[in-house]
A and B are shown apart, each in its own frame.
Chain A
Amino acid sequence: MTVNPPAPATEPAALTEVSLLRFATAGSVDDGKSTLVGRLLHDSKSVLADQLEAVERASASRGQEAPDLALLTDGLRAEREQGITIDVAYRYFATPRRRFILADTPGHVQYTRNMVTGASTAELAVILVDARHGVVEQTRRHAAVAALLRVPHVVLAVNKMDLVGYAEDVFAAIAAEFTTYAKALGVPAVTTIPISALEGDNVVTPSAVMDWYAGPTVLEHLETVQIDHDPRGRVTRFPVQYVIRPQTAEHRDYRGYAGKIASGIFHVGQPVTVLPSGHTSSVAAIDVLGESVDAAWAPQSVTIRLADDIDISRGDMIAPTEQAPDATQDIQATVCHLHDTALTPGARVLLKHTTRTVKAIVKQIPDRLTLDDLSHHPSPGSLEVNDIGRVVLRTSEPLPMDAYGDCRRTGSFLLIDPADGSTLAAGMAGAAFAGADSEKRAELDDAEWDF
């Protein structure tokens, strides 16, 4: 791949009012993920001359003939020494149309928890496969994680097309197999793109040799994919983070509830209910960081004032009275276990949900899921690091938890070790996969759990 810095691709004037896309990449060791990421960064002018020089210097000192672009992304000493990627890294690049935050997740070590971490905030996931090998276990695992985390868009990049003679039928077979699998998991949108990251085919520039492919390049798709941020039709939720009470002469009676709207739209005059107390009031005013507005929506950080003086503090949730969530102490969820200490039934943990942290007990671990084939293992006894399983939890206080499928922010939680504060597991309440209506669902014995 060429390493000459390209000409600036961005005009400053065009950069002001662009949107932001968060996406994650997944691929196993030899699928060419570093090359793909390197090319995306490089061809969008996000690799600057001094970074390239540093890579060239480091590559030369290792006796490598060509600059090793993996050194651009492997930021830690141990990563460079061992030539592996240890941990999720976040990278930034921009085109005139969009700004991108890329969660660059390592493919092989501790893959599940890393990809879960990267996918938790992603609106799109790029899954790489090697055209010579097609859909393999790892591909199914990546698709399952994207489905589990409800990543709205999935791109399958069939890489190394140069090694299969750029054959259309090879690509078509892989694309069809993957799409069927992903749809069954409930992935709403799948795009498949044949690429050669090494040669640059269909990554940033359209391939000259794959004239049978009429779709977008990877970058073009990233720039144009319609990400649905529309808060209309979603549940409306506001976890209270902090109570603002200036108590100054000027603002003696000011009492504002600060937080980030998790989902939906709030507007002045709306009747609201406060959870878990159940008190009701209405929205008297909304400030978006100093600007008074009539309406505000996710993901804005705002301050809401209510018409009535009621007792509200951090950890409470404000929701429209007409769609206030139920609060429960019994939670059924899917968790990805992140820590070396196993999770076992009877474990006493802390559960962090939105702005509230409560005590919880792991009542049962009914099932462990194998992502490779979606088989489940009843009563596994414990969940080890990187395991994904169903859990039943009992919390010390009722929580207004939504199903993760309805709202990523109010349906997700962390389990924390009360002894040392470690993050033990990432949890998603309710049904695991959105493919609830697919054929798979019919085979299941328990409708609530759709593994």
Chain B
Amino acid sequence: MSRFEQAAAQDFQLPHLDVLESEAVHIFREVAGEFERPVILFSGGKDSIVMLHLALKAFAPAPPPFALLHVDTGHNFPEVLEYRDRVAAQHNLRLHVASVQEFIDRGELKERADGTRNPLQTVPLLRAIEEARYDAVFGGGRRDEEKARAKERIFSLRDEFGGWDPRRQRPELWQLYNGKHAVGEHVRVFPLSNFTELDVWQYIAREKIVLPEIYYAHRREVFLRSGMWLAPGEWGGAKQGERVETRTVRYRTVGDMSCTGAVDSDADTIEKVIAEIAATRLTERGATRADDKMSEAAMEDRKREGYF
């Protein structure tokens, strides 16, 4: 008996993952129906992978009417970049890459003293949106990630500077999304708003979605900085006093190598990852993201600047 036959037999009660999936698909189709030039922000991280998977299902058997956009900080995990290119090719999708490194090389962006490039992404992102005249930009953000994100709408109107003003958000009622915007403005769209980290993993398991291997436990060279296990790479590595060691780790979130920490973990299968997430005492971002530890309102401040 299929999942749906079972549900019909039990007074049509849909499992929560189907409700969340239906909602996300509805959001993709709304954007396809109402916008001229939407794009999916795709980083090769698990949330954007789930987002792309949902977009593919929403328009099947036709391809999704969206291109992909990646803001490459120059500090990304090589495994993730390889995954990104493979997936784009596999589904025959157009992939646009906005490069932070190119902005630095041209002198339009300055490397920060702490070497973190995550906050620098906003400029290339907004430039890419402006140049390609994207009017809707899908992001994989979830409201459970962070307290400023808990206040974010599913359709988030951004001004001509890409900025987010939490006091001027449109109320969002029922499933009626208002995507009206003026020339120069655009709308950020978050189809995974109501997914939690655990929902994402359960959905990945149910749909048998392949992820970059770094999400599963593997042996890796890491060193400890500010309480986080960072992996050395082209971006840099251990400084004096920091000792590189090989540990069994995995990643809960994938951003820049310079600010995304690995967690000690033996979870080398999806079942083990789900068990680990369900029992964890730390949030995804609290455990592994330095960029959100900068201040109490770090995420909100970046969002105001045009970040996701």
The chain A residues found within 8 Å of chain B, CB to CB, are: 5, 8, 10-12, 15-20, 48-51, 54, 58, 72-78, 80, 86-92, 94, 99, 101, 113-114, 116-117, 120-121, 229-232, 241-242, 244-248, 250-251, 254, 258-260, 265, 287-291, 293, 295-297, 299-301, 314, 338, 350, 352, 354-355, 408-409, 412-414, 416, 420-423, 426
Interface of chain B residues 150 through 176 with chain A (CB within 8 A)? 150-151, 157, 166-167, 169-176
Given contact pairs A18-B16, A301-B22, A11 touches B11 in the complex (Cβ within 8 A): no
B173 touches A117 (CB 8 A): yes
A241 touches B166 (CB 8 A): no
A54 touches B296 (CB 8 A): yes
Interface of chain B residues 180 through 196 with chain A (CB within 8 A)? 180-182, 193-194, 196
CB closest chain-A residue, reference B154: A90
A299 touches B12 (CB 8 A): no
Choose one: A89, A116, A299, A408; the contact of B22 (CB below 8 Å). A299
Contacts of A80 in B (CB 8 A): 296-297
Asked whether B300 is an interface residue with its Cβ less than 8 Å from the other chain, the reply is: yes
Most buried by A among B176, B193, B278: B176
CB closest chain-A residue, reference B24: A301
A409 touches B150 (CB 8 A): no
Asked whether B246 is an interface residue with its Cβ less than 8 Å from the other chain, the reply is: no
Choose one: B18, B147, B180, B281; the contact of A421 (CB below 8 Å). B180
A54 to B14 CA separation, bound complex (whole angstroms): 37
B21 touches A301 (CB 8 A): yes
Contacts of B167 in A (CB 8 A): 78, 86-87
B12 touches A58 (CB 8 A): no
B180 touches A416 (CB 8 A): yes
Choose one: B22, B143, B171, B280; the contact of A90 (CB below 8 Å). B143
Interface of chain B residues 194 through 237 with chain A (CB within 8 A)? 194, 196, 198-199, 202, 206
A90 touches B29 (CB 8 A): no
Given contact pairs A291-B4, A412-B176, A12 touches B275 in the complex (Cβ within 8 A): yes
Given contact pairs A94-B198, A300-B14, A414-B173, A289 touches B25 in the complex (Cβ within 8 A): yes
A242 to B15 CA separation, bound complex (whole angstroms): 25
Asked whether B13 is an interface residue with its Cβ less than 8 Å from the other chain, the reply is: yes
B300 touches A76 (CB 8 A): yes
Contacts of A76 in B (CB 8 A): 147-148, 151, 166, 297, 300
Given contact pairs A86-B166, A423-B178, A49 touches B13 in the complex (Cβ within 8 A): no
The chain B residues found within 8 Å of chain A, CB to CB, are: 2, 4, 8, 11-23, 25-26, 29-30, 32-33, 57-63, 143-144, 146-151, 157, 166-167, 169-176, 178, 180-182, 193-194, 196, 198-199, 202, 206, 274-275, 277-283, 286-287, 296-297, 300-301
A300 touches B151 (CB 8 A): no
A285 CB to closest chain B CB (Å) equals: 12
Contacts of A296 in B (CB 8 A): 4
A90 touches B283 (CB 8 A): no
B11 touches A352 (CB 8 A): no
Choose one: A49, A77, A260, A352; the contact of B281 (CB below 8 Å). A49
What does DSSP make chain A's interface, helix, strand, loop or mixed?
Answer: mixed
A75 touches B148 (CB 8 A): yes
A401 CB to closest chain B CB (Å) equals: 13
A412 touches B174 (CB 8 A): yes
A421 touches B182 (CB 8 A): yes
Contacts of A17 in B (CB 8 A): 15
A205 CB to closest chain B CB (Å) equals: 21
Contacts of A74 in B (CB 8 A): 147
Choose one: A16, A20, A87, A338; the contact of B202 (CB below 8 Å). A16
A260 touches B22 (CB 8 A): yes
A30 to B4 CA separation, bound complex (whole angstroms): 45
Choose one: A19, A90, A231; the contact of B150 (CB below 8 Å). A90
B265 CB to closest chain A CB (Å) equals: 15
Choose one: B176, B199, B286; the contact of A352 (CB below 8 Å). B176
A117 to B301 CA separation, bound complex (whole angstroms): 25
Given contact pairs A8-B278, A51-B286, A90-B143, A16 touches B150 in the complex (Cβ within 8 A): no
13 A-B residue pairs with Cβ-Cβ distance under 8 Å, sorted by A, are A11-B278, A16-B206, A17-B15, A20-B16, A76-B147, A92-B194, A117-B173, A121-B175, A260-B29, A288-B4, A314-B33, A414-B178, A421-B181
Contacts of A99 in B (CB 8 A): 16, 196, 199
A413 to B169 CA separation, bound complex (whole angstroms): 18
CB closest chain-A residue, reference B157: A421
Contacts of A91 in B (CB 8 A): 143-144, 150
A87 to B30 CA separation, bound complex (whole angstroms): 25
B147 CB to closest chain A CB (Å) equals: 3
Contacts of A251 in B (CB 8 A): 61-62
B26 touches A260 (CB 8 A): yes
A57 to B25 CA separation, bound complex (whole angstroms): 40
A301 to B176 CA separation, bound complex (whole angstroms): 15
B60 touches A230 (CB 8 A): no
B29 touches A258 (CB 8 A): yes
A89 touches B150 (CB 8 A): yes
Contacts of B193 in A (CB 8 A): 90
A120 CB to closest chain B CB (Å) equals: 4
A344 to B140 CA separation, bound complex (whole angstroms): 39
Given contact pairs A54-B296, A86-B167, A90-B150, A241 touches B173 in the complex (Cβ within 8 A): no
A409 touches B16 (CB 8 A): no
Contacts of A426 in B (CB 8 A): 171, 173-174
